[in-house]
Every structure is written in C-alpha cells, then in structure tokens.
Amino acid sequence: MKPWIMFTKHLEGWDLKQIIAALKSTGVEGADLCVRPGYPVAPENARTALPEAARRFADEGLCIPLITTPGDFTDPGIDYALPLFEACAEAGVKLVKLGYWYMEADGYWATVDRCRKQLEGFAALAERTGVKPVIHNHSGSTMGLNSAAVMHLVKGFNPALVGVFADVGH
C-alpha cells in the first residue's frame, strides 16, 4: 500500500523540524516535499540537504517518495537537474514532479514537440538515476492542463521513465 503523504507547499519558510512536526500531527506517513527556494531543501542545496532531510524524516518514521520542483523546472539541461536527480536517488526519493510548460506563440503541436524533446532528456536522467520525472496535470494554461493534453506529452515514453502525477484538484 502506498503511503499517505502531504504536499508541503503551504509550509514555505518552515524548517525541517517544523515540517516534520506538522506532518506527524496530521497522521500522514510522509511528504511531497517542495524543493524550491524558500524551503529547507532547494535546488541549489539539494545535493546535501535532500539526503539529510530524508534521513531526518526516516528517523521520525516518515518518508519522502516525491518532490515538487520549481514551476520553471522544465529543462533537463539546467545546471541543477542532474545533481537534483542524483540527490533524489541517494535519498531514496523515486519521483520528481516537474515544472510547467506553457503554450508558445507558434502553436500547440510545435510546443508539444518542444516539451517532448525536453522529456527525452528527463527520461535519460531517469535511466541514469532510477528516479522518474512526472508531469503534473495542472489547471490554467499549462501544457498538461487535462488528461488528453498530458497524454500528448507522454505518448510513447516508457512509463518506467516518464509518468503523470494525476491531480484531481486541478
């Protein structure tokens, strides 16, 4: 059975001790941990901070099966992408929720093609590290705004290497 986890977005500015206490007070078993600026683990410090956070969570009987990255984390070539995926692998985090692609001026299918090219790079990171990137179907004008749109992005990818985070709230 999968653990019940809580998204930590609303705990911005809290330290790990406070986040752990909040999670334990709710009775969940772990976190969808925000790895963003303003949180104890950010892309820039994830190489060391994420494994340490995972250790501290485990010491308290909690887990981190999923992290949420900054909303603009859509390029596997960004300087922190590989170190972040490696930190996840070291920490036992199996899933990385990517940022959001948006429609570009040259139209839907051209944008889909660009997104899929970037997903190829994320799939390569998954092969290298064993950590799977997931696309968050999100409301608004994101490229994964509904089930049909997100399926255009992931069609044909090995589901062991690229996945979808189905968010029924969006």
**Model pLDDT for residues 73-101, shown as the tens digit of each residue:** 999 999 999 999 999 999 999 999 999 99
pLDDT in the model for residue 56: 98
Low-confidence ranges of the chain (pLDDT < 70): 170
pLDDT in the model for residue 170: 65
Across the chain, mean pLDDT equals 95
pLDDT in the model for residue 110: 96
pLDDT in the model for residue 139: 79
Residue type, 96: V
pLDDT in the model for residue 164: 96
Residue type, 56: R
